[in-house]
């Protein structure tokens, strides 16, 4: 019997900090703090390096959707993880820090540097088992 394990993590945020890279000063500068809703889904299919990530943001009356396939996962500390994401039009990086309950989303890559980043204050979804859903698929 072969089984495939799918894991989906859902996080919700009601605030985010938006930063833009300043070439002149060579640092990220806070552009604004936004108090709007965001849902972040991380779906790992079979392994941590396969699946996709969706960031759905409510922004000034519009919904903005960023999504891509997971191409790499790195365990950056005992609790923290980093996913690299790629789609047809973009590449991005997502870092989850459970100790601080934050997700950092870096995107709009220009060469080696990401030109924009957002830091979301997150909470796992409160529906029972929604933050870590495991679905076992069997060939039986």
Give the pLDDT score at 130.
43
List the chain domain ranges: 3-138
Question: Using an 8 Å Cβ cutoff, are 101 and 107 in contact?
Answer: no
> What is the DSSP track for 44-77?
EESSTTSEEEEEEEEETTEEEEEEEEEEEEEE-S
Please state which CATH number belongs to domain 3-138: 2.40.128
Question: Which of 6, 17, 76, 72 is closest to 41 using CA atoms?
Answer: 6
Positions of the chain with pLDDT lower than 50, given as ranges = 1, 128-140
Q: Return the pLDDT at 128.
A: 43
């Amino acid at each position: 019997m072969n089984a495939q394990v799918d894991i989906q993590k859902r996080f919700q945020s009601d605030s985010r900090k938006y930063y833009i890279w300043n070439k002149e000063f060579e640092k990220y500068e806070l552009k604004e703090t936004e108090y709007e809703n965001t849902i972040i889904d991380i779906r790992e299919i079979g392994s941590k390096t396969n699946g996709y990530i969706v960031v759905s943001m409510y922004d000034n009356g519009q919904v903005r959707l960023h999504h891509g396939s997971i191409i790499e996962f790195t365990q950056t500390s005992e609790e923290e993880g980093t996913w690299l994401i790629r789609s047809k039009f973009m590449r991005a990086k997502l870092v989850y820090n459970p100790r601080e309950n934050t997700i950092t989303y870096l995107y709009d890559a220009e060469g080696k540097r990401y030109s924009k980043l957002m830091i979301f204050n997150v909470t796992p979804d409160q529906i029972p088992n929604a933050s870590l859903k495991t679905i076992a698929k069997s060939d039986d």
